[in-house]
Amino acid sequence: MNLVPVSYYLVLSAILFGLGVIAFIFKRNIIAIFMSIELMLNAVNLAFVAFARQWNELDGLVFVLFVIVVAAAEVAVGLAIVITIAHNRRSLNVEDVNLLKF
C-alpha cells in the first residue's frame, strides 16, 4: 500500500515545473528550450496522475495520454521548424532569430 501523501508528489511536480520555467528562460539553444517545454509537460503529467490516484478517478490518466499525444505532435512540428531555422540561419542560438523581436 502506498503511504506517501499526495502533496509530496504535487510539490515535486511544482519543483519540476519551476525548473522547467527557469530552463526555458535561461537556455539559449533552441533545442534545449524545446526540452524544457517537455520538462514542464512532464511535471503537469505527474500532477494529473497524483490527483487521479487521490480521487480514485481514472479521467486524469486519460488526460495524461492526451498530453503525451499532443506533446509528440508538437515535437514533430517543432523539430521540423528547428531544422528549417538551422538551415536558414546556420545557427541554433535563439539570439540569432530576432526578425520579429521588439
Partner 1 sequence: MSLPFILFFVCAGLAILGAVLLIVSREPIHSALSLILVMVALAILYLTLGAEFIAAVQVIVYAGAIMVLFVFVIMLLNAGVEERTNWSQMAKYAGLPLAVVLLLEIAQWFWRSPTSARAVNGTPEAHPTHALSVLLFRQYVFPFEATSILILIAILGALVLAKRQE
Backbone angles phi, psi at 99, to 5 degrees: -65, -35
Reduced to 3 states (helix: H, G, I; strand: E, B; else coil), residue 30 is helix
The cell for 64 is 495524461
Q: How far is the CB of 100 from partner 1 (least distance, A)?
A: 14
Quick check: 2 binds partner 1 (CB under 8 A)?
A: yes
Q: Does 93 bind partner 1 (CB under 8 A)?
A: yes
Looking only at residues 33 through 62 of this chain, which bind partner 1 when binding is defined by CB under 8 A?
34-36, 38-39, 42, 45-46, 49-50, 52-54, 56, 58-59, 61-62
Q: In whole angstroms, how large is the CA radius of gyration of the chain? A: 17
